Every structure is written in structure tokens, then in C-alpha cells.
A and B are shown apart, each in its own frame.
Chain A
Amino acid sequence: MDFNDTAEEAKFRKEASDWLSANAEKKEHSRDVYRPAEMTGEGGESSALQDAKDWMTKKYEAGWACLHWPKEYGGRDATAIERVIWAQEESKYKVPGGFHEIGQGMAGPTMMLYATEEQKKQYLPPMAKGQEIWCQLFSEPGAGSDLAGIKTKAELDGDTWTINGQKVWTSGAHYSDYAILVTRSDFNAPKHKGLTYFFLDMKSPGIEVRPIRQITGGANFNEVYFTDVKIPDSQRLGEVGDGWKVALTTLMNERLAVGDASGVDFQEIFELTKESDFNGENAISNGGVREKLADWYCEYAGLKYTKMRNISALSRGDTPGPDASITKIVSANKLQDIANFGMDLMDNASIIKSDDKDDIRALFQGSLLGAPLIRIAGGTDEILRNIIAEQVLGMPQDVRVDKTVPFNEIPSGSKN
């Protein structure tokens, strides 16, 4: 057991660190983050979007974008452990991010497996370069956790598909250039057999994007409506009716891309309990408060060391375990509970809303409102528990009443 890099890893870390220090501004402390110059737009995005694109392009030109991708598609052919080392080093700098994950993390790997060579050469390098943003058109009003229940209709006429229907919860649709899309091409086939998968230009005629205001007040999600949207058959990924298989590739990558919930964590509540007054003494002196701190520290440390065990597995060349599911369940619930308890400690002061990003109240309030979304997006707590039970522990699937019957005979959506 040791925490040191191998000689090769140390060399790579130095190279990454040298380039970063020459091209980015180092954080002064862990809470020091990149701040966009201005905030505009429906989703609260801002100069941050252009800054993120430009930072990605800068990395791309120096060979630091999409590290694990093949060089011919704009990557670096780096190993998994090198990718981790890069992420560790980059996190020490104040750099913009948060716009390329769906493209590079999910659409890219799917294109890599299913697109033609010509398409890969056309679309993947610009995706790596970062000026083009992709979104994921999967969920629908009647198909969230039950994703295979989608109803957006795809009809083929000659070489062209016509798409009609509605998608929802599409992050970043309002600023995306391209999208990956799952549709139903056969309503008479069983649920998982009638799906077909495409990629498309978000500027195609017939696409309408409407923002959804979230409980945080921001609007990063969208509804996306399709009215006679045309897609050439050449942009189909996988066989007709085989879209579920392609979607699973994307979802597998989504689970890998989802990480820690962002917001308040142990450090923030620890500091707060040292500063808050509780019956005339600091809250941290109170036994009940200390019990909670201990529990959260155990979760915080447990996730940190679980990640290290995964990195060790990567370093040995093993496939990482499904522990990303654990990370999301534990960190999202911890975030919610810490935010709630922190506001409790602030007492009546927590009732007064604060939008000042440097105010600790804003941090806790934002975390409390953001936490429910994190527990749902990218696999709900419940779906992730199913994944752990089925894929890690090898337990049987639930009995399904919707697997063998024709899709158009299955009840779906809300009946109230």
C-alpha cells in the first residue's frame, strides 16, 4: 500500500502540471472556483459557455482534450490512470467546465462504436476541440427511469426519417449544436425491440426548445419538441429496431461520467459548526452535532478512499468497479442532509435568501435546492440501487409485465 505515483505516472503528472501552470490560474483554496465574467441567458449560462469552449480548444491544441480517445479522433491515447491524474491536476486550477460532459463523455463513446469511419472523422475531432456542444435526447414525459418506454415516433420514407414527439429534461438543449436521439420506429414490436437511435443537427427545422425552470430557479433543462423533423438514414447509429442496445452503451458511459455531487460537503459543515453559536457555545461542542459530523466524515472519507481503490484498480489495468453508483447515491444524500442541517444551525438567518456567491448562506441554500435534482438526474437513487443489486450482487431482475407484449398494448405515463 502506498500513495505514490509510479515513475511513468509521476512523469505524466509533471507534464500535465507544467502545462496547466503555464496556461491557467491556480486556485488559492479548495472553494476557490472559476467565476464567469457575466451571467446572461435563460439557463443562467453566460460568458462561461464561451470560456469553456475556448479552454477546451486550448487543451485540444496542446493534446490535453479527450485524453483516452484515439489520437486520430482528437484524443491522446492516454491510459485510464493518466486520465485520473489529469483530472486531479486540472482540479487545482480555476478553469471553466460543465458543458462538454454529455458530448465527450456519452455521445462521443457511442459514435466511436456505431458511426461510420467518415462520420467519426467529421464529428469527433470538433467534439474534442470543444466549440461544438452536444446534448442527449432520451427522457420523455412518460419515460424517465423506464427509458425504454419512449414514444417519440420515427418513420422511414426512402432514405429519410421523419421524427415527431417530445423529449424532456434535456440539459443544455438551448445551446447545443448536435444531439443523440432515441426514437420508437415500431409500435407493434415489444418495448425494447422497436427503438432506433440517431444523431442530428439541433438546428434542423421542426425542433423547438423550451426551457424548464428548476426548483433552484435556474433553467438548464429543456423540453424539446419535434414536428416533422427530417434525419437522413445515414445518421442512424446501429440497426433499425436495435436502438436499445446503442442506448445502453450511452448509459454505461453516463454512469462513468457522473461523479461527486457538487455543493456543501464535510469541510463546509465542519467550518460552520465551529463558527455557529448554539446555546452560548460553538455548535461543534454539542454532542448531537458531533455525532452528525462523525457520520458525514465517515461517508466523505469512505467515498474518497473508495475512489482511491478504484484508481489503484485502474493503475493495475483492471476495469473499474460499479462504484460510481455508490458515489452518486451517498454524495447526493449527504449533500442534501448537510445542507438541511447547516441551514438549521443558521437558525432564522437561513430563512433570509442570499444570492451572494461568497455568502455561506447562498452555498447552503443552493445546495439544498440542487440536491433533489442530483438524486434524480443520471439514474435515480432507486435505479442505482437496482443496478448495485443486479450488476454487482448478481440478484435477479424484477418480474416484468412489459417485456414481451407489443409496445402499443402497455399502459404508461400518469393516469391522474
Chain B
Amino acid sequence: MNFEFSDDQLVMKEEVRKLFEKEDSVKRNRNILEGDENFDKDLWNKVVEMGLTAITIPEEHGGIGLGFLELCVVAEEMGRAIAPIPYSSSVYLATTAIINSSNDDVKNEYLPKLAAGEMIGTFAHSEELGTPTSDNAKTTFQNGKLSGEKIAVPDGDIANLFVVSAKSGDKVGLFLVDADSKGVEVSKAECFDGSRSYANISFKDVDAKIIEDSSSEAIEKLLNQAAVLFAFEQVGGAEASMNMAKEYAMGRYAFGRQIGSFQAIKHKLADMYISLTLARSNCYFGAWALGNDAPELPVAAATARVSATKAFYECSKENIQTHGGMGATWEFDCHLFYRRARLLSANIGGQSLWKDKLVSSIERSNLPQ
């Protein structure tokens, strides 16, 4: 048995980690939060230069042709670095949707541009507050034209390519829209995590290409794939939060001693570590299922998603608590992780939705063995 990433994958992880440390990604997160830019273009360019937008794209389409396992280790570092760039939207969501597609024309045209970072993609899915499902989509596709309103589109004001969920006949499929097409209207929305950008988008009789219109399963599959990748981001963010709490507790003295020597603090840290370890182990199984396109993916993705969401929430909130009053100031970085944790908890459906999906998947698969 080898339930671990390969040495090559771990080297890659280390390289990405070094990049973000060298570029002080957490500081850049704050700059975006406090400034007028909607993402850090300089950091994005460095990520593109390193080839990180090309990982899962086949060589024939201008990519590196590695697999999802490599993307998982990169995702963990994206989370640790709370990078203020549209990486998840473009890579986990838009790129994966196109890779999944059976439409070769779409692949030939867009994958090389996504690989080279010339285009930034995203997934426009949600239509109203709450949890989006493939059943209630009001956006429609007919005769090559797409119409509807999408809300809270991640990086919607940054992307120049939208993967859009829409009803076509009695199916809900995935369609592709160029952002500069006639009839597209983007309105930027203020985001709870100001280091990331969101927008509401209106489509009026817009030209659209078919990614997948023969099955409603395509959306579920895409969300499951993305769930594993986001879970790795969450684990990275959770570990960073736990480490911040630990370092502070070791250096802060009260009552004549390090606060990290008090059991009230040590047990808090132990609980963070437990939550993080369970989430990481579930993510590893998610990575295996994702990498092998295994029938276990729905259960594995939901398990990774639910436990990683829990871990990041717990670690980011208890990190603030460990810091005391300073932890709740704008000046300290704790809230950057707390905001990101909240964003990642909601972005592809909230915790209650994924818990329900998890139990449904277990019921369907007759797991566990």
C-alpha cells in the first residue's frame, strides 16, 4: 500500500510553497483586500510562469499533462497562502469542465489559452441566495443562444471565459460563453472576503458553445471534482491557521508563563490538530478517487469537503481566540484566514448541502464496506 503522494508530487508542492513564501502571498492578500485591484496580477503571472495553470491540461492542448494528484498538492499551497488570484475558478472549475467535455472543438480552442494563462475562466452557476442545484436552473440554452441571470460568480469580473450551467430541453448542461460576447453584462459585487472578487452576470441571447448537454450529471461531476480540490485548499488554510495559533501561544506570556503551557490552550491546539488530521486523511482518499475517476468519487468528495470545511472553520476561529484581542484587529492576519474559510465554505454549496449529499451518496453506494 502507498497512500501518500509521490516524491515528485511532494517536490512540486514544496516549490509552490516556496514561491508563495517568497512572494509573501499573505501580504498580497491584504493588499487586495485593502486596495482597488480585484486580484494580484503580478502573482497570477508568476503562477502562470510556473506552469500551474497547465497541470491537468493534456500536452496536445498545450498543457503539462499531469494529473489531478499534482493539482491537489498545488491546491493545498494555494490555501496555505490564501492567494488573492482567480486560480480555483479558472483551473479547478473552468479548465476541468472543458477537460471533461467530449466537444473537441471547445478543447482545441480554449485549453491552450487556459494553459498559457491568456484566458481566465470561471463557473457561473448560482442563481439565487441559497444552494444551487441542477434542477432549479432558470438560465436557458436554445439554438446556440443562452439567457439568464447568474449571481455570486467567483472572479466574474476578472474572467474572460464563462462556463455556464443552463437548461437545454429537460436537461441541465454546461455551456461556454466568451465574456466579451454581445449581451453579457457583468456587475461587480462586494465580497465578504475582499481578497477575492465576485460578480453578478446577466446573459441576454448570448452566443454559447456546448460543453455538455446530453446529461445533467456533468454538473454534479464537476462539483465533486472541485470539492476535492477546494478541500485541499481548506486543509492548507486550516494548517496555516493552526500554526499561527501555535506560534503565537509559544511567544505570548501571561500570568508569568507562555500561554501555550496552559492546558486550555494546548487542548484547543490538540483539537485543531485532530480536526486537521481527519480532514487531511479524507482529502487523500478524495485525491485518490479524483485521480482515478473512481466510482467512489461522490462519497469521497463529500467526505473531504465536509471535514475540510469543518477543519478550516475551527482552526481559523480558534486561531483568533488564541490571539485574544489582537486576533480580532484589522492589523493582525487572523481575519484573512477566517474570511477565506467562510468563502470556501459557501462557494460550491454550504455544509448542510454537502452533508446531505454525503449521506445520499452513501445510501446509493451501499458504503461503507
Given A1-B69, A390-B266, decide whether A298 and B282 contact each other with a Cβ distance below 8 A: yes
Which A residue sits closest to B305, measured CB to CB?
Answer: A298
A304 to B354, CA, bound (A): 20
Which B residue sits closest to A300, measured CB to CB?
Answer: B368
**A304 to chain B: which residues have CB within 8 Å?**
281
Answer yes or no: B2 CB below 8 A from chain A CBs: yes
Asked whether A330 lies within 8 Å of B274 as measured between CB atoms, the reply is yes
**A306 to chain B: which residues have CB within 8 Å?**
277-278, 281
Asked whether B278 lies within 8 Å of A270 as measured between CB atoms, the reply is no
**A315 to chain B: which residues have CB within 8 Å?**
1-2
| Per-residue A-contact encoding for B355-369, CB less than 8 Å = 1, 0 else | 110110011000010
Q: Which chain A residues numbered 287 to 305 have a C-beta less than 8 Å away from chain B? A: 287, 290-291, 293-295, 297-305
Given A297-B303, A298-B278, A298-B303, decide whether A305 and B3 contact each other with a Cβ distance below 8 A: yes
Given A2-B1, A315-B1, decide whether A302 and B269 contact each other with a Cβ distance below 8 A: no
Given A287-B356, A399-B257, decide whether A393 and B306 contact each other with a Cβ distance below 8 A: no
Q: Which chain B residues numbered 64 to 87 have a C-beta less than 8 Å away from chain A? A: 69
Asked whether A266 lies within 8 Å of B273 as measured between CB atoms, the reply is no
Which B residue sits closest to A293, measured CB to CB?
Answer: B359
Which B residue sits closest to A307, measured CB to CB?
Answer: B281
Given A266-B368, A306-B277, decide whether A290 and B267 contact each other with a Cβ distance below 8 A: no
Q: How large is the interface on A (under 10, 10 to 19, 20 to 34, 35 or more residues)?
A: 35 or more
**A308 to chain B: which residues have CB within 8 Å?**
1, 3, 281, 284
Answer yes or no: B307 CB below 8 A from chain A CBs: yes
A275 to B118, CA, bound (A): 55
Q: Which of B1, B2, B291, B355 has the most C-beta atoms of chain A within 10 angstroms of its own C-beta?
A: B1
Answer yes or no: B260 CB below 8 A from chain A CBs: yes
Residue from B2, B6, B270, B359 within 8 A of A294 (CB atoms):
B359
Asked whether A291 lies within 8 Å of B262 as measured between CB atoms, the reply is no
Answer yes or no: A397 CB below 8 A from chain B CBs: yes
| Per-residue B-contact encoding for A1-32, CB less than 8 Å = 1, 0 else | 11111000100000000000000000000000
Which A residue sits closest to B300, measured CB to CB?
Answer: A301
Given A1-B284, A294-B306, A309-B4, decide whether A388 and B278 contact each other with a Cβ distance below 8 A: no
**A384 to chain B: which residues have CB within 8 Å?**
270
Residue from B5, B261, B282, B363 within 8 A of A305 (CB atoms):
B282
A270 to B369, CA, bound (A): 12
Answer yes or no: A280 CB below 8 A from chain B CBs: no
A315 to B1, CA, bound (A): 7
**A382 to chain B: which residues have CB within 8 Å?**
263, 267
> Could you tell me the distance in whole angstroms from the C-beta of A271 to the nearest C-beta in chain B?
11
Which A residue sits closest to B358, measured CB to CB?
Answer: A294
Q: Which chain A residues numbered 256 to 300 have a C-beta less than 8 Å away from chain B? A: 266-267, 270, 284, 287, 290-291, 293-295, 297-300
Residue from A4, A312, A399 within 8 A of B4 (CB atoms):
A312
Which A residue sits closest to B266, measured CB to CB?
Answer: A389
Answer yes or no: B167 CB below 8 A from chain A CBs: no
Which A residue sits closest to B271, measured CB to CB?
Answer: A385
Given A388-B270, A396-B260, decide whether A302 and B1 contact each other with a Cβ distance below 8 A: no
Main secondary structure of the interface of B (DSSP, over half): helix
A169 to B5, CA, bound (A): 43
Answer yes or no: B310 CB below 8 A from chain A CBs: yes
Which B residue sits closest to A5, measured CB to CB?
Answer: B1
> Could you tell me the distance in whole angstroms from the C-beta of A270 to the nearest C-beta in chain B?
7
Answer yes or no: B288 CB below 8 A from chain A CBs: yes
A385 to B265, CA, bound (A): 11
Residue from A1, A301, A392 within 8 A of B303 (CB atoms):
A301
Residue from A290, A300, A329, A385 within 8 A of B356 (CB atoms):
A290
Asked whether B266 lies within 8 Å of A309 as measured between CB atoms, the reply is no
Asked whether A4 lies within 8 Å of B352 as measured between CB atoms, the reply is no
Q: How large is the interface on B (under 10, 10 to 19, 20 to 34, 35 or more residues)?
A: 35 or more
Answer yes or no: B287 CB below 8 A from chain A CBs: yes
Answer yes or no: B115 CB below 8 A from chain A CBs: no
**B354 to chain A: which residues have CB within 8 Å?**
294
A329 to B258, CA, bound (A): 26
> Could you tell me the distance in whole angstroms from the C-beta of B138 to the nearest C-beta in chain A?
25
Residue from A300, A312, A330, A398 within 8 A of B3 (CB atoms):
A312
Given A302-B279, A312-B2, decide whether A290 and B355 contact each other with a Cβ distance below 8 A: yes
Answer yes or no: B249 CB below 8 A from chain A CBs: yes
A5 to B2, CA, bound (A): 8
> Could you tell me the distance in whole angstroms from the C-beta of B242 to the nearest C-beta in chain A?
8
Answer yes or no: B246 CB below 8 A from chain A CBs: yes
Answer yes or no: B11 CB below 8 A from chain A CBs: no
**B326 to chain A: which residues have CB within 8 Å?**
none
> Could you tell me the distance in whole angstroms from the C-beta of A235 to the nearest C-beta in chain B?
38
Answer yes or no: B346 CB below 8 A from chain A CBs: no
Asked whether A385 lies within 8 Å of B5 as measured between CB atoms, the reply is no
Answer yes or no: A386 CB below 8 A from chain B CBs: yes
> Could you tell me the distance in whole angstroms from the C-beta of A320 to the nearest C-beta in chain B?
13
**B266 to chain A: which residues have CB within 8 Å?**
385-386, 389-390, 395, 398
> Could you tell me the distance in whole angstroms from the C-beta of A80 to the nearest C-beta in chain B?
12
Given A1-B2, A266-B368, A386-B266, decide whether A329 and B303 contact each other with a Cβ distance below 8 A: no
Asked whether B1 lies within 8 Å of A326 as measured between CB atoms, the reply is no
Residue from B3, B278, B281, B306 within 8 A of A3 (CB atoms):
B3
Given A312-B4, A385-B271, A388-B274, decide whether A298 and B285 contact each other with a Cβ distance below 8 A: no
| Per-residue A-contact encoding for B280-324, CB less than 8 Å = 1, 0 else | 011011011001000000000011001100100000000000000
**B50 to chain A: which residues have CB within 8 Å?**
none
Answer yes or no: A311 CB below 8 A from chain B CBs: yes
A111 to B284, CA, bound (A): 39
A281 to B261, CA, bound (A): 51
Answer yes or no: A323 CB below 8 A from chain B CBs: yes
Answer yes or no: B250 CB below 8 A from chain A CBs: yes
Which 7 A-B residue pairings sit nearest by Cβ, starting from the closest?
A302-B278, A294-B355, A389-B266, A305-B281, A385-B270, A388-B270, A306-B281
**Given pairs A297-B359, A297-B362, A396-B261, 4 additional interface contacts (CB within 8 A):** A293-B362, A313-B4, A385-B266, A395-B260
Q: Which B residues fall within an 8 A CB radius of A? A: 1-6, 69, 246, 249-250, 257-258, 260-263, 265-267, 269-271, 273-274, 277-279, 281-282, 284-285, 287-288, 291, 302-303, 306-307, 310, 352, 354-356, 358-359, 362-363, 368
Q: Which A residues fall within an 8 A CB radius of B? A: 1-5, 9, 266-267, 270, 284, 287, 290-291, 293-295, 297-306, 308-309, 311-313, 315-316, 323, 326, 329-330, 382, 384-386, 388-390, 392-393, 395-399
13 contacts between A and B (CB under 8 A): A1-B291, A9-B1, A266-B368, A287-B352, A298-B282, A302-B277, A304-B281, A305-B284, A386-B267, A386-B270, A389-B267, A389-B269, A396-B261
